[in-house]
Amino acid sequence: MKWLLIFLSLMLLGACKDDSAGAGMPKQFEPVVNPHPKYFMTIKGYVSPSIADKIQLKWVAIYSTTNPKCDKTYNSFEGVVGWRQIKVPFIAKLDKNSRYQFKIPLDYYESGLCEWKIASVVDYSGETHLANGIAQFYPCGKSATCLMASKKINPIYKKQALYELLCAYDNKEKLACKATPDSFDFSNDLNIPRTNNYLFTENYFLKTKDRR
């Protein structure tokens, strides 16, 4: 899907992606990139230079069909159907000041027949590469797997979130990072709307006597 690579190379600074997203999907369900996205989640942050080579900076935006006409049959014998998804990974790159910043388009795809929408943003960053959902966008439509489709958007939600992690080496020289007590993301606001711009900051510091 060459247009994905071209679009993101022009659109995103400080991040790259896997161009295989959505590969093998039947043409009739394949989404079209929105040439003029309006809504973004800007992700930025800082990583202490001394641990930069041990910290992965990776996020995955998951886009889903929400029209049941485009649902995929996963098990015809048991009648298991569900939405189709495209997972688009973003890998951030540090600049000379050990900082990074890029944007994830929330309306990256045109809605089209299948009513493509962003479903969630998952954070795989850190020293462990474990998945951490930082934002979910609902209601997601009428697809069979839209389990929260009946829930309304929470009128109280944040447009900015801050995640700060303090990292330290254990007695085996293994790095471990832990979020500070005042860190928060968008996951507590399960029903954040797609028609907004958001800012997510994620910083990694090496724990020292001066920063605990």
Residue 13 in any domain: the answer is no
Query: Could you tell me which residues come within 8 angstroms of residue 118 by beta carbon, excluding any fewer than 6 positions away?
Result: 61, 62, 63, 64, 106, 107, 108, 137, 194
Asked if 41 contacts 121 with a C-beta cutoff of 8 angstroms, the reply is yes
Beta-strand (E) ranges in 93-174?
Answer: 99-105, 117-123, 132-136, 160-169
Do the Cβ atoms of 201 and 163 come closer than 8 Å?
Answer: yes
Say whether 114 sits in a helix, a strand or coil. coil
- Write down the pLDDT at residue 22: 56
CA distance 83 to 75: 13
Asked whether residue 159 is assigned to any structural domain, the reply reads yes
Question: What domain range includes position 168?
Answer: 30-206
Q: Cα–Cα distance between 1 and 154 in angstroms, integer? A: 36
> Residue-wise over 100-117: b if at least 16 C-beta within 10 A, else e?
bbbbbbbbbbeeeebbbb
Taking the C-alpha atoms of residue 202 and residue 72, their distance in angstroms, rounded to an integer, is 35
User: Per mean pLDDT, which range of 32-41, 94-103, 118-127, 189-198 is the poorest?
Assistant: 189-198
- Please count the other Cβ atoms lying within 10 Å of the Cβ belonging to residue 29: 19
100 found inside a domain = yes
Query: pTM of whole model > 0.85?
Result: no
17 within some domain: no
Q: Locate 17 and state its tokens.
A: 């992606």
Number of independent structural domains in the chain? 1
In-domain check, residue 83: yes
pLDDT tens string 72-118: 877 666 666 778 889 999 999 999 999 999 999 999 999 999 999 99
- pLDDT band for position 156 (cuts 50, 70, 90): low
Residue 32 has pLDDT above 50, yes or no: yes
Query: Is residue 168, in this structure, part of any structural domain at all?
Result: yes
Is residue 158 included in any domain, yes or no?
A: yes
Residue 193 lies in a domain: yes
**Distant-in-sequence contacts of 170-179, Cβ < 8 A, 24+ apart:** 175/51, 175/54, 175/127, 176/127, 177/55, 177/126, 177/127, 177/128, 177/204
